[in-house]
Amino acid sequence: MWTRCPGSVVRVPDTMPLPPFAQTFPARHFPVTPHLQSATSMSSSAHLILLEASLGPAEEQALDGEGWRFALIQQGQGYLLAVQGPQILEQGDAVMLSPAATGVLRASQLGALQFDYLRFQPVLLADFLTPVERHYLESQETQQRLLCRVFKASDPIARRFREVQEMKATGNSLSKRSALLQAVAGAVGVDDVDCSLLPASGPRARERVLKRLAEMTESQFVSCSVEELAVECRCSMRHLSRLFRKTFGISLSARQTELRMQRAARLLKESDLKVSEIARECGYLHIGLFNSTFKKRWKHTPSGWRGIPARPIELNTHA
């Protein structure tokens, strides 16, 4: 878990280079400093949980980790160093980085910078997000369009995050996590995704498909057969498959398989379940089919996957 102990600062060797995008900034505005806060990967426990952190004058912190990352400036002034160029940060501002972005927080040379940090990982909300929402959050178009955003203190998004910060509930309470999820949903614009996919006028079958997908959780979608979904949407399986690929850029069966494999990879790392039990959890009745599908996707057998170092799991959206 990523934390910073009060009164301690972890420094890296003076020989460690700055990120490539930070090296391009004019020295007169951003003097090179070797003091970078520990870039230890932030664990999944930070998902929808606020972590407090602070930087001394001119110190830096890489906003690393999986998923969407947010930094909420509590006190002081600083800068966000990202590919779009440096941006000034002040008290009350909120920073959002998509999974495709890299960024570094830097405190002003004049004083310390205090901020809260959290991550949002759609992969951990399989029983909550709909397939449409998951597709929106993990599509390249969304992640590039929302690559790096700074919401100034007067912005409604930043004000909403501040309201969550000021809640009296404990940091890991259900009410606070729910409020954080609402704030994140507003920041990434996921609330309007269903409406944006529906055409003003178009085939009724497509409307029915999108409406049904927007009503299902990801787990329900994965366990639903093409035949069952076609019946619910009142269209043929062939037409359903064609509409799904046209809308999401991937076949329905390939999408289901990808989500199953992603769940399997996570369970192998995070649990002590037997491979046969994980296969059943992911909807595979035949262990042989599960093993071959897993190896085709991840280039490792399920047992071998457990022995390699943990790494970010990226969704394949082009199958």
pLDDT number for residue 144? 95
DSSP track, 25-76: S-TTTS-----B---PPPPGGGBT--EEEEE-TT-EEE--SSSEEEEEEEES
Can you tell me the distance from the alpha carbon of 233 to that of 318, in angstroms, rounded to the nearest whole number?
A: 24
This model's pTM is above 0.85: no
pLDDT number for residue 71? 96
Tokens of 15: 């020989």
Q: Which residue has the tokens 């009350």?
A: 92
Task: Return the beta strands (E) in 78-211 as ranges.
Answer: 78-82, 87-89, 94-97, 103-107, 113-120, 148-151
Tokens of 38: 């520990």
Alpha carbon separation from 125 to 24, 160, 224 (Å, rounded): 38, 22, 18
Q: Say which residues have a Cβ less than 8 Å from residue 134's Cβ, sequence separation at least 6.
A: 122, 218
Domains contained in the chain, CATH given: 20-190 (2.60.120.810), 198-250 (no CATH), 260-306 (1.10.10.60)
* Other beta carbons less than 10 A from residue 290's beta carbon: 22
Q: Do the strands 68-75 and 113-120 form a parallel or antiparallel pair, or are they unpaired?
A: antiparallel
The pLDDT tens digits of the residues spanning 199-235 come to 444 458 888 888 899 889 888 999 999 999 998 888 8
Can you tell me the distance from the alpha carbon of 26 to that of 84, in angstroms, rounded to the nearest whole number?
A: 14
pLDDT number for residue 214? 87
> Looking at the predicted structure, is the pLDDT value of residue 16 above 70?
no
Nearest to 68 by CA among 112, 133, 5, 16: 133
The pLDDT tens digits of the residues spanning 273-291 come to 999 999 999 999 999 999 9
What percent of the chain is predicted at pLDDT more than 70? 79
DSSP tag of 251 = -
Tokens of 180: 């954080």
| 51, 2 contact by CB (below 8 A) | yes
Can you tell me the distance from the alpha carbon of 149 to that of 180, in angstroms, rounded to the nearest whole number?
A: 17
Can you tell me the distance from the alpha carbon of 42 to that of 65, in angstroms, rounded to the nearest whole number?
A: 5
Q: Say which residues have a Cβ less than 8 Å from residue 283's Cβ, sequence separation at least 6.
A: 222, 223, 260
The pLDDT tens digits of the residues spanning 43-101 come to 444 789 999 999 999 999 999 888 999 999 999 999 999 988 899 999 999 999 999 99
Q: For all residues of the chain together, what is the average pLDDT?
A: 82
Burial class (CB in 10 A: 0-12, 13-18, 19+), 139: middle
Tokens of 21: 């995008």
> Looking at the predicted structure, is the pLDDT value of residue 22 above 70?
no
Cα atoms in the Cβ-side hemisphere of radius 13 Å centred on 111: 8
